[in-house]
Amino acid sequence: MLFEAYLIPDLVLSHFYHLTPEYMQKLEKKYIISDIDNTLVTYDDPEPTPAVLTWLKDMENAGIRVAFLSNNKPPRIEKFNEKLGYVAYADAGKPGTEMLKKVLAELGADPSETVFLGDQLLTDAACGKRGGLYTVIVPPIKDRTDTFNRTKRLIEKPYMRKYKIREEKRGNTL
């Protein structure tokens, strides 16, 4: 039961750009803390894609602030964020919340006003839930197929099934 509290996301979307400013307004959220790799871009994309830039601009125009929190190394995150200049932290140690707290403080954001966007339950959803944020999970853009990553995805499956069951009981079609 304890794991369920941290590993079942609040919302699953088919793509990051489905988290629109209108949806954020409906959720009454003003901030997004987002993972980067496999959430917004593949590991192979060193910089934001045009789709990411458009999404970020739409959020900015709606007054929604976005920050990045990644377990990847500083050179990767610095390159991705170089032209954006957003609040961004690397080596985040997710699902730990120490760096999450730093991002929230730097943004001046309350957890109740903030969405955590990511592609992994074991890191992103768990970090966001532990920090009191509303968690949104998207499928990985281009998942790695090594044994470690396949094992993580297998561990996530029962929690994704529980999410689907919960949503079906609520009358939400997926």
Which pLDDT does position 52 carry in this prediction?
A: 98
**Which phi and psi angles does 171 have, rounded to 5°?**
85, 10
Q: What is the pLDDT of residues 54-96, one digit of tens each?
A: 999 999 999 999 999 999 999 999 999 999 999 999 999 999 9
Q: How confident is the model at residue 48 (pLDDT cuts 50, 70, 90)?
A: very high
* CA-angle at 123, arms to 120 and 126, nearest 5°: 100
The arithmetic mean of pLDDT across residues 15-44, rounded, is 96
Alpha-carbon span 34 to 148, nearest angstrom: 22
Which pLDDT does position 149 carry in this prediction?
A: 73
Task: Report the sign of the C-alpha dihedral through residues 117, 120, 100, 129, in that order.
Answer: positive
Task: Name the pTM for this structure.
Answer: 0.91
Taking the domains of the chain in order of start, what are their residue ranges? 2-169
Taking 90 as the threshold, does the pLDDT of residue 168 lie above it?
no
Q: Residue 134: in which H helix or E strand, if any?
A: strand 134-137
- The CATH code for residues 2-169 is 3.40.50.1000
50-to-54, 69, 96, 138, 156 alpha-carbon distances in Å: 6, 20, 31, 18, 30
Taking 70 as the threshold, does the pLDDT of residue 50 lie above it?
yes
